[in-house]
């Protein structure tokens, strides 16, 4: 997430090859997120093209505008994927649904399905409903990861237009990542994915190298393996992936 001044509040923001509608207070999609989303498609595509037993199910937690969910649905193999995007913010879910509508025809052509739902991932029923009662293959997320101290020095434009809840998290910005690790590890232990694979089960955007050691420790503790970190184009640690 780029906290700098170089994004302008336009009506739409290009993301991959999609035009994502933006509206305050929902976070404007950033180039770093776009970059790793496209890299993830490149990683998944060959395997998902080759093995198509049934639709894969992806959860996009903290979906905001819905940019990640929509880009994945537009670019993963046809008829391969069903994506549910969750967010705690009513405005974000409304906006994500507007974005879904504006890409309806494109998605129809791919046969991939997307829907958005208002949810706080700390609510106990979320685990039951999304991580137990329904099949799952992959969880992706760009959760809030700015620390309270970092927030104080953010550009005033960002603070004025973007929801604090979309940016800031406790525990040095790793609180939501930890919740996701916990949810996905419970799911892996009890159910596991439909198709055996070394591909990641959890993909999370992070704020930089300072968050890696604590997340690595948390992932190890919860039995994840194959933990990797992707850097962004600026050379900053940007994504943690784990199987
Ligand atoms: C950094 S924004 C990411 C938005 C979008 N995925 C993107 O990459 O542009 C984080 C999002 O997390 C949502 N969020 C914060 N706390 C949440 C919670 N407890 N449960 C679900 N969503 C939450 C915020 O409303 C916000 O839309």
pLDDT digits (tens, 9 = 90+) for 180-193: 999 999 898 887 76
pLDDT digits (tens, 9 = 90+) for 96-133: 999 999 999 999 999 999 999 999 999 999 999 998 87
The rounded percent of the chain whose pLDDT value lies above 70 is: 93
Q: What is the mean pLDDT of the chain?
A: 92
- The pLDDT assigned to 194 comes to 61
CB-ligand 1 contact for 43 (6 Å cutoff): no
| Ligand 1 centroid – CA 42 distance (Å) | 24
Residue 141 CA: nearest ligand 1 atom is 6
243: nearest Cα among 38, 43, 77: 43
Please confirm whether the linkage preceding 25 is cis (ω < 30° from 0): yes
CB-ligand 1 contact for 136 (6 Å cutoff): no
CB-ligand 1 contact for 13 (6 Å cutoff): no
- The pLDDT assigned to 191 comes to 77
Domain residue spans of the chain: 31-38+68-73+108-113+121-242
For range 210-232, the mean pLDDT:
96
pLDDT band at 6 (very low <50, low <70, confident <90, very high): very low
| Ligand 1 centroid – CA 37 distance (Å) | 16
CB-ligand 1 contact for 29 (6 Å cutoff): yes
CB-ligand 1 contact for 104 (6 Å cutoff): no
- The pLDDT assigned to 54 comes to 76
**Protein residue with its CA nearest to atom 27 in ligand 1:** 64
31-38+68-73+108-113+121-242: which CATH topology? Rossmann fold (3.40.50)
CB-ligand 1 contact for 81 (6 Å cutoff): no
């Amino acid at each position: 997430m780029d906290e700098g001044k170089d994004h302008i509040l336009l009506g739409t923001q290009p993301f991959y090859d999609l035009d994502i509608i933006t509206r305050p207070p929902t976070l404007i999609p950033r180039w770093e997120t776009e970059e790793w989303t496209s890299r993830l498609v490149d990683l998944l595509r060959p395997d998902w093209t080759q093995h198509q037993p049934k639709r894969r199910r992806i959860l996009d937690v903290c979906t905001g505008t819905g940019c990640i969910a929509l880009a994945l649905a537009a670019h993963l193999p046809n008829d391969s994927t069903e994506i549910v995007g969750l967010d705690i913010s009513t405005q974000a879910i409304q906006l994500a649904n507007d974005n879904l509508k504006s890409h309806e025809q494109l998605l129809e052509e791919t046969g991939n399905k997307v829907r958005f739902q208002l949810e706080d991932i700390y609510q106990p029923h979320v685990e039951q409903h999304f991580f137990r009662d329904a099949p799952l293959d992959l969880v992706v997320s760009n959760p809030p990861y700015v620390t309270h101290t970092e927030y104080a020095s953010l550009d005033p434009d960002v603070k004025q237009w973007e929801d604090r809840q979309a940016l800031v998290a406790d525990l040095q910005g790793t609180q939501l990542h930890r919740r996701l690790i916990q949810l996905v590890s419970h799911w892996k232990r009890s159910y596991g994915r439909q198709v055996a694979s070394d591909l990641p089960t959890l993909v999370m955007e992070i704020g930089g190298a300072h968050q890696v050691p604590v997340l690595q420790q948390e992932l190890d503790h919860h039995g994840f393996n194959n933990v990797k970190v992707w850097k962004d184009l600026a050379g900053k640690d940007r994504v943690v992936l784990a199987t």
